[in-house]
Amino acid sequence: MDDKFNFVNVRVKEKWKVATLVLGQEVLRSVPLLFVTMLRVKHVEQCLHTTTFSRVHFGPDVDVARQMKKR
């Protein structure tokens, strides 16, 4: 949803099914790395911008995730 409360549809074409972008154990089991960000539509510039809200979720099998948890 943009800043004017209009819905923005982003189509994700991947081998794994994406019915909704929900952060759950099922998604994290199917992909080792999941990056979620909020997008803002700039109608004047006809483009998307990221907002300040972003999350990166690592599945349990990613070595980088284990290293980051140690820090």
Tell me the per-residue pLDDT of 9-21, one tens digit each, with 9 for 90 and over.
655 555 444 444 5
Q: Residue 28 burial (CB < 10 Å; 0-12/13-18/19+)?
A: middle
pTM of the model: 0.26
Q: Where are the domains of the chain?
A: 1-71
Question: Tokens representing 41?
Answer: 């539509």
Model pLDDT for residues 1-11, shown as the tens digit of each residue: 455 666 656 55
